[in-house]
């Protein structure tokens, strides 16, 4: 049997983690033969709750789960990691935009980037989930100059899954028959869910999404706003932000990093923009269509972009530029990587955001 992969989940006492940990621990993400050491970070006041989560993981009697390490200490949590899933942060409430969380959450990701830089393996794959996910991811990457920026990504797979599912429901088929939707830009209400390159498999044949759905007005109108506003709609209904669907999307995202995407398929994830793809400004974490092989993502280049798409891709880029500049002004992080700053532990993070 292989050596265990060491996987960190932050916000481990929260609601997304509660839906996520079982799937990771039973092998849905890193492989059915891959032992796992699960490191669970939360803030000090949540340690009693986290103990309960640890008991439940033990009680699942899972063969792949070799070790569970609950902690509120950065130097324990980030040590020798192979993968880090950064969930821990404040979720938004009814009536808030995700950017309202910027000030509260961005300090957490600066501190955790510094801890990754100091303690994790240089090969660590980091997935940022806590909102605003793109900008938090950028700040974490900037705060970890010794880890390649390509190792950082943020979650837009939930939006991707939402878009696939909306198209599938409209066609009366299962979501597995919809491929290559694209989420461009920010995990926010400016994101652009794009179906111009999407294919729907109808009776064994791939058909362009516009031909399969046969309702251009819906695809260019309500479809887009439904996906853009889906997080808010879940919050309004549940009085809590999405958790089950977020956990499923995290598993899809990290599993694809670990095992690659299928031939002919691409998926959406927020990755570092160098300014060389689709006219997106550099130094943003922007959601692109990507393929993944050997744990390395590649932006799918050369897709035709019409004026309708261009305007929406630019609008979400503009929001990300504004978010980045606000975050940088809060934190004093430069647009170039900096040397590591002193480490903040989880309790200090909590105090920083109160
Ligand atoms: P939650 O409040 O249920 O759990 C968050 C947990 O994080 C809590 O246990 C809290 O104590 C912990 N935490 C806070 N600061 C921390 C720190 N510095 N270090 C470690 N842990 C810390 O929230 P949730 O519903 O699990 O959501 C978590 C985040 O995920 C929110 O920001 C939410 O908006 C975001 N989210 C993102 C997506 C996405 O698609 N990108 C989807 C859903 C939710
Ligand atoms: C979501 O998309 O469900 C999450 O990002 C939660 C939110 O704030 O919308």
* pLDDT per position as a tens digit, 154-193: 999 999 999 999 999 999 999 999 999 999 999 999 999 9
**Nearest bound ligand to the CA of residue 235:** 2
State the pLDDT at residue 345: 38
DSSP summary character for residue 39: E
46 three-state secondary structure: helix
Q: Residue 321 pLDDT more than 50?
A: yes
47 three-state secondary structure: helix
DSSP summary character for residue 304: -
State the pLDDT at residue 334: 55
The HSE-up count of residue 26 (CA atoms within 13 Å, CB side) is 9
Distance between Cα 309 and ligand 1 center (Å): 31
Q: Which atom of ligand 2 is nearest to the CA of 245?
A: 3
Q: How does residue 333 score in pLDDT terms, banded at 50, 70 and 90?
A: low
130, 105 Cβ separation under 8 angstroms = yes
Per-residue pLDDT, averaged over 75-99, amounts to 91
Q: Which residues are catalytic?
A: 187
Architecture in CATH for domain 5-154: 3-Layer(aba) Sandwich (3.40)
CA-wise closest residue to 160 among 258, 234, 252, 293: 252
Is 157-323 in the same CATH topology as 5-154? Answer: no
State pLDDT tens for residues 286-307: 999 999 999 999 999 999 999 9
State the pLDDT at residue 81: 98
157-323 CATH pick, 3.90.110.10, 3.30.210.10, 3.20.20.70, 3.30.2290.10: 3.90.110.10
Is pLDDT larger for residue 349 or for residue 151? 151
CA-wise closest residue to 154 among 198, 105, 115: 105
State the pLDDT at residue 97: 79
The HSE-up count of residue 55 (CA atoms within 13 Å, CB side) is 6
Q: How does residue 117 score in pLDDT terms, banded at 50, 70 and 90?
A: very high
Q: Residue 143 pLDDT more than 70?
A: yes
- Whole-model pTM: value is 0.94
Q: Kindly give the pairing relationship between strand 296-299 and strand 284-293.
A: antiparallel
Domain borders along the chain are 5-154, 157-323
251, 26 Cβ separation under 8 angstroms = no
Rounded to the nearest 10 degrees, how much is the dihedral formed by the CA atoms of 170, 172, 175, 179? -70
Name 128's bridge partners.
86, 154
Probe target for ligand 2 pocket from 14, 15, 92, with the most ligand atoms within 8 Å of CB:
92
d(CA 215, CA 170): 10
Q: How does residue 229 score in pLDDT terms, banded at 50, 70 and 90?
A: very high
Per-residue pLDDT, averaged over 243-248, amounts to 98
**Ligand 2 atom 9 nearest Cα:** 231
42, 10 Cβ separation under 8 angstroms = yes
Q: Does the Cβ of 250 fall within 6 Å of ligand 1?
A: no
d(CA 354, CA 345): 15
């Amino acid at each position: 049997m292989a050596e265990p992969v060491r996987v960190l989940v932050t916000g481990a006492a929260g609601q997304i983690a509660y839906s996520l940990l079982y799937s990771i621990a039973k092998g849905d993400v890193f492989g059915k033969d891959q032992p796992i050491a699960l490191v669970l970070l939360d803030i000090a006041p949540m340690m009693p709750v986290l103990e309960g989560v640890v008991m439940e993981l033990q009680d699942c009697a899972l063969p792949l789960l070799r070790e569970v390490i609950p902690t509120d200490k950065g130097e324990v949590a980030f040590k020798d990691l192979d993968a880090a899933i950064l969930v821990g942060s404040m979720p938004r409430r009814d009536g808030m935009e995700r950017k309202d969380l910027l000030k509260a959450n961005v300090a957490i990701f600066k501190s955790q980037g510094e801890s990754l830089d100091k303690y994790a393996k240089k090969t660590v794959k980091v997935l940022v989930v806590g909102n605003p996910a793109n900008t938090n991811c950028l700040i974490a990457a900037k705060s970890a100059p010794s880890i390649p920026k390509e190792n950082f990504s943020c979650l837009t797979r939930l939006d991707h899954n939402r878009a696939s599912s909306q198209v599938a429901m409209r066609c009366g088929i299962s979501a597995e028959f919809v491929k290559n939707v694209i989420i461009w830009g920010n995990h926010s209400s400016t994101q652009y869910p794009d179906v111009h390159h999407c294919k729907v498999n109808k009776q064994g044949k791939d058909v362009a999404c516009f031909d399969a759905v046969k309702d251009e007005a819906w695809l260019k109108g309500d479809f887009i706003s439904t996906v853009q506003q889906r997080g808010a709609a879940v919050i309004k209904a549940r009085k809590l932000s999405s958790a089950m669907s977020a956990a499923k999307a995290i598993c899809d995202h990290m599993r694809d990093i670990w095992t690659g995407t299928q031939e002919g398929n691409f998926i959406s994830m927020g990755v570092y923009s160098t300014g060389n793809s689709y006219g997106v400004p550099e130094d943003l974490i922007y959601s692109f269509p990507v393929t993944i092989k050997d744990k390395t993502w590649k932006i799918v280049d050369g897709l035709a972009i019409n004026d309708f798409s261009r305007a929406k891709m630019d609008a979400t880029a503009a929001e990300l530029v504004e978010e980045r500049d606000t975050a940088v002004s809060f934190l004093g992080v430069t647009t170039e990587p900096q040397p590591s700053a002193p480490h903040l532990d989880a309790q200090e993070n909590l105090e920083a955001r109160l």
